[in-house]
Amino acid sequence: MINNKIFRHDILLDNTEICNLQQDSDALLKGIVQGHRIVFIGRRNTGKTSLVKARIIPQFQNMNPKALVVFIDLMGVKTLNQISARFQSAFEHSISRLNPTTAFLKKLALSIRNLRPTMGIDALTGQPEFSLGVDSQHSSIPFAAIISEIGKYHIEHSALLVIDEFQDVHYVEEAEALFRNAFQQLPADLPVVAMGSKKSILAKIFAVPKAPLASWGRQYEISKISSEDYTPYFNERLNPVGCTVKELLMGALIQEMDGIPEAINLIGDWWQRHYAGGGELTSQDIFPAIAGVVEERHSLFLEHMKFYTEKEETFLRALARSQPVKSPLGSLFLSKLKMSPGGAGPLIKRLEADAIIYRQPEGFVIGDPILAHWLRRN
Ligand SMILES: Nc1ncnc2c1ncn2[C@@H]1O[C@H](COP(=O)(O)OP(=O)(O)OP(=O)(O)O)[C@@H](O)[C@H]1O
Ligand SMILES: [Mg+2]
């Protein structure tokens, strides 16, 4: 039999490629069915988007075939207009899927001004395609109006609104207040999921008492995959090339990769490509694989570093060497860097806001464990 199971990275997963996360998807789906507002958080590359898009949304759609599910990715938005444009195209896409009746289109035309909603056929795919028919004379429809339409649909049928990379609205003036207002007017049982990986910004949005969205939603953090669950996932991919891993080794690898699935998969992928016929792998096989992956990513990381100042890079290298660091502003850590707390404070805030470093219970760490290894080596 041909082995077509591979270790994926840098890509959204299919449902079958998601290792476990069953508890998370059950909990989130339950919250969605109950109409909760949810803030779904987790570090970079922990599988949040894959879980929601490839497992939770399809399950919800199976339960509610008529439901309007709108998934919006707000990564990198800088203006209210950009937010509105993303909402508009996501809404059009979701309505296309439902193949609405003419009566529905007429109702929609009446409820938002300057619209000519139409159903057509996409010339490339042959699939039904819905367009709101925004008049080119007018600017785009404000996202609050789209949210309100989702609310109206929910009252008659059922709807779900998911906003990925929600933290990026923090940099758009007025956006949080407008979202607050739009969310407040939605039916109380319409499920809304706001998700993202920049935890420090999400905390500013949802946890700072004076913020417009303070205390909005219930927070849910994605869990770490256990070695018990990851071992069969690895063996399914490694056994066909003649390797096996035991739970103990898997535990060591998970710990070395700080529990980040993408980094763990990169090691699996390296083993699959380099250790064919290797039999039972041991903890001694972890470091050559890390070195191999680090080498393969060298030019990528060099590019990556161009986005950081010399001071930031120095800080990152020192953090990588000493992590987890409980008090990065303490004299013990800063004396090695020749930096003052006044200089390091804003720098740490910036790196944290970018999700390049994370504040964990044990202390600050580099977000990407492979990058941490690279920083230590180079
Ligand atoms: N449960 C999992 N099983 C296997 N691989 C996983 C799992 N979760 C995450 N990954 C790995 O992480 C990668 C990124 O997944 P995904 O984009 O869904 O994560 P994310 O948390 O949304 O990341 P980001 O915060 O960058 O948006 C996948 O390509 C895969 O390598
Ligand atoms: Mg994501």
Over residues 143-170, the pLDDT tens digits come to 999 999 999 999 999 999 999 999 999 9
3-state secondary structure 122-161: CCCCCCEEEECCCCCCCCCCCHHHHHHHHHHHHHHCCEEE
Using the atom order of ligand 1, give the atom closest to the CA of residue 44: 25
Q: DSSP letter string over 30-67?
A: HHHHTT-EEEEE--TTSSHHHIIIIIIHHHHHHH-TT-
pTM exceeding 0.75: yes
Instruction: Tell me the CA distances in angstroms from 160 to 8, 27, 35, 49, 115, one per residue in order.
Output: 28, 16, 9, 15, 23
What tokens were used for 10? 């840098």
Q: Give which of 341, 345, 366 is closest to 355, Cα–Cα.
A: 366
Q: Rounded mean pLDDT of 321-345?
A: 91
Ligand 1 neighbour 45 (Cβ under 6 A): yes
pLDDT in tens, 174-210: 999 999 999 999 999 999 999 999 999 999 999 999 9
Least trusted range by pLDDT, from 59-68, 105-114, 310-319, 329-338: 105-114
Evaluate: CB of 268 within 6 angstroms of ligand 1.
no
- Point out the ligand nearest to the CA of residue 370: 1
Pull the structure tokens for residue 367: 């977000």
pLDDT number for residue 127: 83
- The ligand whose atoms approach the alpha carbon of 52 most closely is 1
| CB of 261 shorter than 6 A to ligand 1 | yes
Q: How many CB atoms lie within 10 A of CB 189?
A: 12
Instruction: Kindly give the distance from the C-alpha atom of residue 371 to the centroid of ligand 1, in angstroms, as a whole number.
Output: 16
Angle at the Cα of 202 (from 199 to 207), degrees rounded to 5? 115
56 lines ligand 1 (CB under 6 A): no
Q: How far is the CA of 73 from the centre of ligand 2 (A)?
A: 9
